[in-house]
Structure 1
């Protein structure tokens, strides 16, 4: 009921694991909060199961009182199938803003060429590159981690070769912080 809160984020687990009726109920509950202008839905499910974007889901997005923002989790350009591209086009057609956040993963997308190809492919399909996360160190996945220095070097290279609007922000998740923490790429020198 805080009037300063204007956005709700559906995340954690994957909100699209819920059925459309439940999502509709959630949006109806959100409608009861007058200050909410945007609902952001973070999901990887459409990447692996594009058919999860159903006609009913498209209708509830189109009829929502708030702006719906879908943040996909695509880490490599090869993850963007024709089926996913078709579903993204339908989301955009009903007024959904589509963004992407990726994680930099060793052996998957830790090169300038792969990052640029991902950004280009996303943008071609009208998906805005938004965040590129440094890998969170989690047990059993250390083989995906790359050093901060390498990630910064890759992103500095990408920035010199691609238009700025196509380059996601390099960020890290820090426990207890209210938002993502931007990683300094060391691009600015004092005058």
Structure 2
């Protein structure tokens, strides 16, 4: 059974649902992504995700619709929350969403794709870690990080909080011209991630979107860089080089 695919806009949020079959996951993965899932509030640079007083928080209608679709499809075993950024939800809102997902018997795993531990490491609080660890769902966090300079002491602490709590952390990186398109930069990034116990996951070829062409690295250069990484690093520290093709059911492996 296939779930419908396409954007659904309602109120301040939008989710795009995308279902695909992936043998490595042992079932269907369902992605729920949103723009402005929750409006971040910057107060002194720290209070990025405003808290809500009540613990009885109804889901926004666009998320409730997504959860209902998931509940109706017994082939879905893993749910991906992606961007916007799901950690821009408050802990209360995130707990409400995770609780609804946990109530779906055939959903066993939850994957959260986020930049927050990298750009606002203070978001990874003890309360957030307990929320994720306490769920009956097997939860993984995928952090989006592009350069070793992003991995400062505060980021190290945030990642360690997740990993020490038994939450696996994986990395995603976009290959960007002038940012990380050298073997020195990429090797430095993946060695540092290995030291921090973060699993190298994907190195993405840049999507061809408006306004980003100046960041694109030719695929043949990316393949060469990954080959050089394999010569320098242990196998577990080398990511899979992939790209997404419009309409494809899964990523294309490049190297």
TM-score scaled by length of structure 2: 0.70
In structure 2, which of residues 95, 110, 120 is the aligned counterpart of residue 49 of structure 1? Answer: 120
Q: Which residue of 1 aligns with 2:228?
A: 157
How many residues get paired? 184
Q: Which residue of 1 aligns with 2:100?
A: 29
Backbone CA RMSD of aligned residues: 1.0
Q: Which runs of 5+ in 2 are unaligned?
A: 1-71
Highest RCO, 1 vs 2 (Cα 8 Å, sep ≥ 6): 1
Q: Which residue of 2 aligns with 1:16?
A: 87
Deviation of 1:3 after TM superposition, in Å, equals 2.6
Q: Which has the higher helix share?
A: 1
Q: Which residue of 2 aligns with 1:133?
A: 204
4+ runs deviating over 6 angstroms: none
For residues 158 and 56 of structure 1, what CA distance do their matches in structure 2 show? Answer: 37
Q: Which runs of 5+ in 1 are unaligned?
A: 186-191
Q: Which has the higher strand share?
A: 2
For residues 38 and 177 of structure 1, what CA distance do their matches in structure 2 show? Answer: 23
Q: Which residue of 2 aligns with 1:121?
A: 192
1:179 matched to 2:220? The reply is no
Q: Which residue of 1 aligns with 2:146?
A: 75
Deviation of 1:159 after TM superposition, in Å, equals 1.2
For residues 89 and 21 of structure 1, what CA distance do their matches in structure 2 show? Answer: 23
Deviation of 1:12 after TM superposition, in Å, equals 2.2
For residues 46 and 87 of structure 1, what CA distance do their matches in structure 2 show? Answer: 6
8 Å Cα contact 1:100-1:127 kept in structure 2? yes
For residues 159 and 250 of structure 2, what CA distance do their matches in structure 1 show? Answer: 26
